Amino acid sequence: MMLSQLILTLLAGGLLAWLSERRGAAWPRQVALLTLLAALVELAWLCGSLPWPDGAALVASEPASWLVHETHAWIPRFGIRFALAMDGLSLALLALTLALGMVAVVASWSEVQAQPGFFHANLLWTLAGALGVFLAVDLFLFFVCWEVMLVPMYLLIAIWGHEQRARAAMKFFLFTQAGGLLMLVAIVVCALDYCARSGHWSFGYFDWLRSPMSGAMSAWVLAGFLAAFLVKLPAFPLHSWLPDAHTQAPTAGSVILAGVLLKTGAYGMLRFGVALFPQAAREFAPLMMGLGVAGVLYGAVLAFAQTDFKRLVAYSSVSHMGFVLLGIFAWNALAWSGAVMQLVAHGLSTAALFTIAGALQERLHSRDMRAMGGLWAALPRIGATAMLFAIASLGMPGLGNFIAEFMVLAGAFQVAPWLCAAATLSLVTGAVYALSMLQQTFHGPLQTGARYPDFGARELFAMGALALGLLWLGLYPQPLLDLTAPVLAAIDAHALELRP
Amino acid sequence: MNAALLPALAPLAILGLGTVLLMAQVAARRSALTSPWLSAAVLALALGAAAAGWPRDAVAATPLLAVDAYARLFSVLIIGAALVTVLISGPWLAPLGSEQHEYYLLLLLATFGAVVLVHATHIASLMLGMETLSVALYALIAYPDKTWLPIEAGLKYLVLSSAATAIMLFGFALLYAAVGELGFAALGARLAHGDPMLLGAAALMVIAGLAFKLSLVPFHMWTPDVYQGAPIPIAGYLATVSKVAIFAALLRWYQVSGLARHAAIVDILTLLAVASMLVGNLLALRQANVRRLLGYSSIAHMGYLLVPLVVYGHTAQPQLALEAASCYVVTYAVSNLAAFVALAALYGTGGADPACDVEHLAGLFWRQPLIALLLCTALLSLAGIPLTAGFVGKFYIVAAGAEVQLWVPLAALLIGSAIGLYYYLRVVYAMTAAAPAPQPSIPGAAIGARTLCVALVALVFYLGMYPQPLIAALRGMF
C-alpha cells in the first residue's frame, strides 16, 4: 500500500497546488514543497519500518525478496496488474527524484509568475510519473507511467519555456513518443509471446523473468525497448531533442529533465532491457558501448562550442550519459555500480548547474555567455557555487562524478580497452568546456554595470545540500554502493542463469 | 412476430414512435421549448430501453434484424451520442426562431436509421438503415442558414453520397445475381459457389460505397468540407453516430458472412487501411482549421479501425480482433464526440460561420479552462495517450496486429500516430499560449454545458484508467 501512496501523494499534491492558486500566488509553491517533503518523509518512514532483508538473498524474479512490493488487479482481460515493487536501486532513484523535485521548486521560487498553480501541478505530476517508472513491475503500468511523465513535462516546456519553446516542446514530445510507441509494440509482442508459452496473459515483470523470451524475436523486442530508452537517455544519434528541450524549458523543467527523466532511460535499460533479454543485450553490447563513447566525446566537443549557458550544460549531459551507456553494456559489477553512481552524481551536479543557469537568466535575461563575463565580482555566491559544480562536472576527485566515471572506466577497460581509452579523453575535453564556461561567465572584466541580487539563503541552502550530496558521494560512496550492489548482482545472476 | 419480441425491439419502437410523436407535436404547436425536450426525452427513454438489456439472449426479429448484446452496446453508444447532440444543439438553433423544429425531427430520424443499422443482419435492412441515416443527414448538414459553406457541404455530401449509394446498390444487385441470397449468414455460406467475375465486381462496388461512407482513402474527398461546413453539432454527429453505425453494420456483416476468408477482400482492406492512415494523417498536418483537422484525422482513425478487420483475415481465432475493432469504435466515438462538444461550447452562438482556426484558440486554457480541458482531453485521447480512452483502443489494435505479426499495417499505424501527435499537440500548444492582446470574447458556457463537459472528461478518463467494464461488455458480445 505504501508505494502507491507515495505516487498518490504527489498526484493529489499537484491537484491541491493547482487549486490553492486561488488563495494567492505564493501558495502553490509552498504546497508543492510540502508535498515533496511529505513524500520524502513517507519514504524515509517506509525505509525505517522495513525489515531490510539480507542483500545477498535478493533474487530478481522473487518479489518477496525485494524490499517492498504490492499488487492490485487492474485489467484482468490482459493479466495487467497494478504492481509496484522497490529494491535498493529504485530506492536510490526515488530519493533522488524527490530531492531534485524540491530543488526544482526552490529554483523556480520567483521565476514563475504566470499560472503558478498549474505549473506546480505539472511539476508534481511529472515527478509522480517518474516515481511510477522507478517502481512499476508490470510492463503495462511501466509504459503508462512512462507516458504520464511526458504530458506534464510537455506542458511545462510549452507554457513556461523560453523563446523557442514551441519547437523544443514539440521535438521533445515527438522524439520520446516515437520511441515510446516502439516500446509499446515491443511490450505487446513480449506479452503475446508469454501468452503463447504459458497460456495466459501477463505483463508482470516477475512472470517474464521466470519465463524469459528467447530466439530471434527477442533481439527485435529488445530493439523496441532500447528505442525508447536510448532516446530518453539520450544516446548519441538520438539526442537532438535534448539541447533544445533543456535550453528552452523553465529552470524547474530543466532540473527535472536532466536530473530525473534522463535517468529513467538508464533505469529501464538495466531493469528491463538487460534483465529480460540478456542474450540479445550481450549481442548488442559492442554497438551500445560504441554509441556510449561516441556520445561521451560528441557531447563534450559540442558543449565546448556553445555560447548559450544552458545549451552547454545540456550537451555536457549528453557526454555524461554516454558514460552510463558505456557502463551498462560493459556489463560487470564495477561498471554497473559506476553507471548507477553516475546517475545520482550527474543528477545532483546538473540540477545545480541548471539552477545557476536559471538564476543568471532571471537576473540578466540572457543565457548568452558572450554577454556575461566578470560576474564573480557582482555575484560572488553564484560564482562560487558555479565553480564547485563545474569542477564536479569535469570529474574532480573528491566529488561524486569522479568516482562514477572512474568506476565506469575501470570496468569498461576490462572489456573494451580501446573504447575505454577513447572515453578517457573526455576527462580532458570535460575540463575544457567546464573551465571555459566558468571563465567566460564569471572571470574577466565585468561586462555590465547593473546590480543584481546574489543567491539568498533559500538558494544557498538548496545548493549546499546538493554540494554535500556530491561530497558525500565523492568521499564515502560505500553506502550507495552497498544499497545498489545487491540489485545489480541479482540482475547479473539472473542473466547468467539464462546463458546457454 | 410474437409478443416476446416487443421488449427486444423496444429501443427501435420508442425511436420510431417518438419521431411520429414529434412530427405531430411540431404540426400542432411550434414551441421552441417542447421540441428539444420531447426529442431529448424520446432519446433518453430509448437509451434506457437499450441499456436495460432485455431480453438476455440474442433474438432474431424477422430475418432483417438481430437483437443481441452487440446491437445493444452500439445502440447505447449511438443513442447516447444523439442525446448529447440534442443537448448541444440549442444555442446553434436559437437564431433560427421557429424554423428549428424539423432539425430535431431529422435528428431522431437519422438516429432511427443508425440504430436499425447496428441491428441489421440482411442487406435490405443495411440499405434501409443507411439511407434513412444519410437522407436525414443531407438536410441536417445544410440546415442552419443559407450561407454557402453549409450549402456547399450539404450538396457535396448529397451528390457524392448518392453516387456511392447507387454504386453500392448496383453491387448488391450483382451480389444477389451471383448467390441469390441477401441475408448475411446465408449469403456467406453460398459465396464460395457464386460466379467469381460477378462477385468480384460486386465486392469492388460494395467496398467502394462503404469506403465512401466511412471516408476511407481514396474516397475521402468530401470529409473535410463537410466537417467544416456542417453545423458543429451535426459535424460531431456525423463523425460519431454515422461512422459507428456503418462500421458496426460492416463488422457484423464481415463476421457473420465470413468475408475474412476471402483473401482478395482482406488485401483490399489492407490497402485502404494503410492509405487512410498515412494520407489522413499527412493531410491533417497542413490544416489551420480545427474542424478540417478533425475531418482528416477521422480519415486516419477509420484507417486504424480497419486494421482489426485485416487481422481477422489472418487468424483462425478472431476474438481479439473483434474486441479490438469494437473497442476502438467506442473509444473513438467518445473522444471525437468530446472534441465536438468542446467546439460547440466554444462557438455555440451559431449563425455566422465560426472559423474554428487554430489561432483563435490561443490562450483558451486561461480564458475557458473547462472547455480547454475537454478539448485537450479529447485530442490527447484521439492521439492515444495513456490514461485516456483512446489509448485502450490503440493498445487493443496493436495487440491484435502483433498477435498475427501484421507488421506493415502496424508500422503504418505507428507512423500515423507519430504524425498525429504533431497536429494534435499543435492545437494543445495553441490553447496554452498567452492570449493575443485583443481577446476575442467567448461567452461563458451555461451550467448545463459545464456539466456535460465535466461528464465527458470523466468518461474519457474513466474508460482510459479503468477499461475493465467496457472490455467485459465487449467480450460478452462475441
Q: Which three cell numbers stand for residue A177?
A: 513518443
Q: How many CB atoms lie within 10 A of CB B284?
A: 25
Q: Is residue B103 pLDDT above 50, yes or no? A: yes
Chain B residues within an 8 Å CB radius of A200: none
Contact of B414 with chain A, judged by CB distance below 8 Å, is answered with yes
With an 8 Å Cβ cutoff, are B418 and A155 in contact? no
Nearest to A174 among B387, B418, B472 (CB): B418
Q: How many CB atoms lie within 10 A of CB A461?
A: 12
- In a mutational test of the A interface, the residue from B326, B373, B395, B415 whose CB has the highest number of chain A CBs within 10 Å is B395
Sign of CA dihedral A151, A152, A158, A162: negative
Q: What is the pLDDT of residue B154?
A: 86
Q: How far is A75 from chain B (nearest CA, A)?
A: 5
The answer to whether the CB of B284 falls within 8 A of the CB of B300 is yes
Tens digits of residue pLDDT in B110-148 = 999 999 999 999 999 999 999 999 999 988 988 866 677
- The rounded distance, in Å, linking the Cα atoms of A100 and A379 is 24
Which of A230, A236, A242, A229 has the alpha carbon at shortest distance from A268?
A229
Residue type, A20: S
Closest chain B residue to A192 measured between Cα atoms? Answer: B403
Q: Of the candidates B201, B205, B387, B230, which has an alpha carbon nearest to the alpha carbon of residue B294? A: B230
User: A146 to chain B: nearest residue by CA?
Assistant: B386
- H-type alpha helices, B347-368: 364-367
Q: CB neighbours of B142 closer than 8 A, spacing ≥ 6?
A: B150, B151, B153, B154, B155, B230
B224-230 average pLDDT score: 88
From CA A80, how far away is CA A129, in angstroms rounded? 18
Provide the shortest C-alpha distance from residue A379 to chain B (in Å). 33
Report CA B208 to chain centroid distance, whole Å: 18
Residue among A75, A144, A192 whose CB faces B468 most closely: A75
Amino acid at A390: A
Interatomic CA distance for residues B478 and B400, integer angstroms: 15
- The percentage of residues in chain B with a pLDDT greater than 70, rounded to a whole number, is 94
pLDDT per position as a tens digit, B10-36: 899 999 999 999 999 888 887 777 888
Chain A interface test: which of B311, B385, B463 (most A C-beta within 10 Å): B385
Question: In this predicted model, what pLDDT tens digit does every residue of B35-89 receive, in sequence order?
Answer: 888 999 999 999 999 888 766 778 888 888 998 889 999 999 999 999 999 998 8
Position A94 scores a pLDDT of 94
Q: Can you tell me the mean pLDDT for A201-223?
A: 89
- Of chain B residues 431-460, which have a CB less than 8 A from chain A? 432, 434
Q: Are A135 and A148 in contact (CB under 8 A)?
A: no
Distance CA A201, CA B320 (A): 12
Answer whether residue A317 shows pLDDT above 90: yes
Q: For residue A183, give the H/E element and its range.
A: helix A165-198
Q: Looking at the partner chain, which of B365, B429, B471 has a beta carbon nearest the beta carbon of A169? A: B429
Mean pLDDT of B364-389: 90
Whether residue A150 is predicted with pLDDT greater than 70 in this model: the reply is yes
pLDDT in tens, A354-383: 999 998 888 888 888 888 888 888 888 889
Give the C-alpha separation, A451 to A448, whole Å: 8
Q: How many helices (H) and strands (E) does chain A have?
A: 23, 2
Q: For residue B403, which amino acid is it? A: E
Whether the CB-CB separation of A218 and A95 falls below 8 Å is answered with no
Subunit contact B402:A188, Cβ cutoff 8 A: yes
Q: What is the Cα A389 distance to its own chain's centre?
A: 17
> Residue B352 has what pLDDT?
43
Q: Is the pLDDT of residue B434 over 80?
A: no
The tens digit of pLDDT for each residue in B274-288 reads 999 999 999 999 888
DSSP per residue, B367-428: HSHHHHHHHHHHHHHHHT-TTSHHHHHHHHHHHHHHHTT-HHHHHHHHHHHHHHHHHHHHHH
Q: A368: which strand partners? A: A308
Amino acid occupying residue B389: A
State yes or no: pLDDT of A423 exceeds 70. yes
Query: If we measure between CA atoms, which residue out of B470, B350, B411, B452 comes closest to residue A78?
Result: B470
Cell numbers 517508472 correspond to A133
Confidence of residue B315 (pLDDT cuts 50, 70, 90): confident
Residue A462 CA, chain-centre distance (Å), reads: 19
Query: In this structure, is the dihedral angle defined by the CA atoms of residues A31, A34, A38 and A40, taken in order, positive or negative?
Result: positive
Cα separation, B155 vs B165, in Å, equals 15
What residue has cell string 559540442?
A302
**What is the predicted pLDDT for the residue at B146?**
67
Please check the confidence at residue B443 and state whether its pLDDT lies above 60: no
SS3 B120: strand
Per the listing, cell 487512410 goes with B276
Entry pTM: 0.93
What mean pLDDT is reported for chain A? 90
Cβ-proximal residues to B223 (8 Å cutoff; 6+ apart), any chain: B215, B295, B296, B298, B299
pLDDT tens-digit map of A429-470: 889 999 988 888 888 888 777 778 888 888 899 999 999 999
A-B contacts at Cβ under 8 angstroms: 66
Query: Per-residue pLDDT for B437 more than 60?
Result: no
Mapping DSSP to helix (H, G, I), strand (E, B) and coil, where does residue B148 land?
A: helix
Query: Residue B218, preceding bond cis, omega within 30 degrees?
Result: yes
User: Rounded to a whole number, what is the distance in Å from the CA of B55 to chain A's nearest CA?
Assistant: 26
Percent of residues, chain A, with pLDDT higher than 70: 99
pLDDT, one tens digit per residue, over B240-265 is: 999 999 999 999 999 998 888 888 89
- Residues of chain A found within 8 Å of residue B385, distances taken between Cβ atoms: 147, 150-151
Q: Which residue in the set B410, B421, B467 is minimally distant from A177, CB to CB?
A: B421
Residue in A148, A151, A188 closest to B398 by CB: A188
Q: Is the pLDDT of residue B420 over 80?
A: yes
Q: How far apart are CA B194 and CA B178, in angstroms?
A: 5
Residues of A with CB under 8 A from a CB of B: 74-78, 114-115, 118, 143-144, 147-148, 150-151, 154-155, 158-159, 166, 169-170, 173-174, 177-178, 181-182, 184-185, 188-189, 191-192
Burial (CB < 10 A; 0-12, 13-18, 19+), residue A45, is: exposed
How far, in Å, CA of A21 to CA of A13, rounded?
13
In b/e form, how buried is each residue of A337-373, taking b as 16+ CB within 10 angstroms? bbbbbbbbbbbbbbbbbbbbbbbbbebbeebebeebb
The minimum CA-CA distance between B454 and chain A, rounded to whole Å, is: 16
CB B264 within 8 A of CB B272: no
Does residue B322 register a pLDDT over 50?
yes
pLDDT one-digit tens code per residue, A234-255: 898 899 999 999 999 999 999 9
Nearest CA in chain B to A191: B399
State mean pLDDT over A273-286.
Answer: 91
Query: Which among B387, B398, B425 has the least Cβ separation from residue A173?
Result: B425
Contacting residues of A for B386, CB less than 8 Å apart:
143-144, 147-148
Nearest CB to B399; choose among A74, A147, A188: A188
Average pLDDT (B406-426) is 92
Q: Residue B439: is its pLDDT beyond 60?
A: no
| Residues B236, B85 contacting (CB under 8 angstroms) | yes
Paired sense of beta strands B65-67 and B59-61, if any: antiparallel
Q: Which residues pair with A69 in a beta bridge?
A: A85
* Contacts B387 to A, Cβ<8 Å: 144, 147-148
**Residue ranges of domains in chain B:** 275-478
Query: Can you tell me the mean pLDDT for B291-309?
Result: 94
Nearest residue on chain A to B472, alpha-carbon basis: A77
pLDDT tens digits, A7-49: 999 999 999 999 998 888 889 989 999 999 999 999 999 888 8
